């Protein structure tokens, strides 16, 4: 009976040894695989830069030609105000013509609300440019410096 127990213990020792060796080999291969992946991640941007550099067209430097009419002086207006009529995409109530007539006839304080990047400043400056172009009335924005 003691011989069967000793054979069972030997088999368990051999089996445990092979399981341990298998775990060590598997871990080493995982580590090597991880290192290869990380090296490829480091090399990939360099490869892309090199590829783009090789296949790009040669840079031809173009000299900028400036003439006297392109020079802008601080004392003069950079661009004269031009009237461009506002066109409404959709209206719920009222008309855009009535709104523009009120803007041209009377002084107004207008608050424009909207999400970030939705064009509030662009709309405000466009309204002011139209008023200045059609009626030649000065317009101001709170928080923007006025230069003569």
Alpha helices in 76-144 (DSSP H): 96-105, 120-135
Query: What is the DSSP-derived secondary structure letter of residue 69?
Result: G
Q: What's the rounded Cα separation, in Å, for the pair 118 and 140?
A: 21
**Confidence grade of residue 73 (pLDDT, cut at 50, 70, 90):** low
Q: Report whether pLDDT(67) > 70.
A: no
Neighbours of 23 (CB within 10 A): 10
Nearest CA to 124 out of 147, 36, 18, 132 is that of 132
Task: Select the more confidently predicted residue: 61 or 57.
Answer: 57
Both tokens of residue 77? Answer: 């207006």
Both tokens of residue 58? Answer: 């040669």
Q: What's the rounded Cα separation, in Å, for the pair 130 and 56?
A: 46
Q: Report whether pLDDT(1) > 70.
A: no
Looking at the whole model, is its pTM more than 0.85? no
Q: Which residues contact 111 (CB under 8 A, 6 or more apart)?
A: none
Residue owning tokens 């092979």 = 18
What per-residue confidence (pLDDT) applies to 45? 81
**pLDDT tens profile 2-58:** 566 667 888 899 999 999 999 999 999 999 999 998 888 888 888 778 777 777 766
What per-residue confidence (pLDDT) applies to 51? 77
Q: What's the rounded Cα separation, in Å, for the pair 44 and 50?
A: 10
Q: Report whether pLDDT(123) > 60.
A: yes
Q: Report whether pLDDT(148) > 70.
A: no
* Mean pLDDT (whole number) for 133-143: 78
Q: What's the rounded Cα separation, in Å, for the pair 148 and 146?
A: 7
Q: Which residues contact 135 (CB under 8 A, 6 or more apart)?
A: 104
Task: Select the more confidently predicted residue: 118 or 103.
Answer: 118
**pLDDT tens profile 77-110:** 566 778 888 888 888 888 888 888 887 888 878 8
The torsion region of residue 44 among left (phi > 0), alpha (psi -120 to 50) and beta comes to: alpha
């Amino acid at each position: 009976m003691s011989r069967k127990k000793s054979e069972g213990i030997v088999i368990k020792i051999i089996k445990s040894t092979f399981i341990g060796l298998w775990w060590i080999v598997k871990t080493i291969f995982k580590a090597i695989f991880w290192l290869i992946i990380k090296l490829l991640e480091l090399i990939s941007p360099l490869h892309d830069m090199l590829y783009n550099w090789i296949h790009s067209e040669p840079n031809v430097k173009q000299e900028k030609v400036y003439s006297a009419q392109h020079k802008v002086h601080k004392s003069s207006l950079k661009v004269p105000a031009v009237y461009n009529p506002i066109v409404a995409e959709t209206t719920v109530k009222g008309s855009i013509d009535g709104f523009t007539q009120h803007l041209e006839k009377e002084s107004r304080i207008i608050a424009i609300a909207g999400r970030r990047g939705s064009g509030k400043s662009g709309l405000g400056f466009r309204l002011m440019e139209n008023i200045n172009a059609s009626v030649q009335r000065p317009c101001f924005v709170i928080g923007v410096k006025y230069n003569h």
